[in-house]
Amino acid sequence: MTRRRDEAGQAAVELALCLPLVAALALALLQVTLVVRDQVLLTHAAREAAREAAVSADAAAVRRAATSGARLDPGRLDIEVRGRGAPGSRVTVVVGYRSPTAVPLVGALVGDVHLSSTATMRVET
């Protein structure tokens, strides 16, 4: 019976040693998932902004299109419009975003992640 009691104690110690590692890996995976979600939203915002830039020369309208098209913090967005010319030319919108790392433990180890997305469309009017 002594042997079984020792083995039960060993299993508890192994679990106690491995559990923090498993929890840290789960938190890191959650942070990666949130950054990937922000990249998808940023791509959507860039496409919306490029579409607006293709039909309007108003920089404020382009910014509104980018911020309303995605659920991203507008204070963390950088929007740049390049090459808008006559109808038929191409306009390029570059949208940058500082994705916050707010997950416990991981956020303290890794700073904000800088994401970027570019979309190009033909100017219509």
Task: Let me know: does 47 contact 118? Beta carbons within 8 Å.
Answer: no
Number of domains in the chain: 1
Q: At 115, is the pLDDT very low, low, confident or very high (cuts 50, 70, 90)?
A: very high
The reported pLDDT for the residue numbered 63 is: 95
Q: What is the pLDDT of residue 11?
A: 83
pLDDT of residue 3: 56
Write out pLDDT tens, residues 15-45: 889 999 999 899 999 999 999 999 999 999 9
Task: Determine the pLDDT at residue 8.
Answer: 66
pLDDT per residue as tens digits for the range 45-89: 999 999 999 999 999 999 999 999 788 999 999 999 999 889 999
Q: Is the dihedral of CA 24, 26, 29, 30 positive or negative?
A: negative
Q: pTM for the whole thing?
A: 0.83
Range of the domain at 39: 2-122
On whether the CB atoms of residues 97 and 78 are closer than 8 A, the answer is yes
pLDDT of the residue at 64 = 95
Residue-level pLDDT at 4: 61
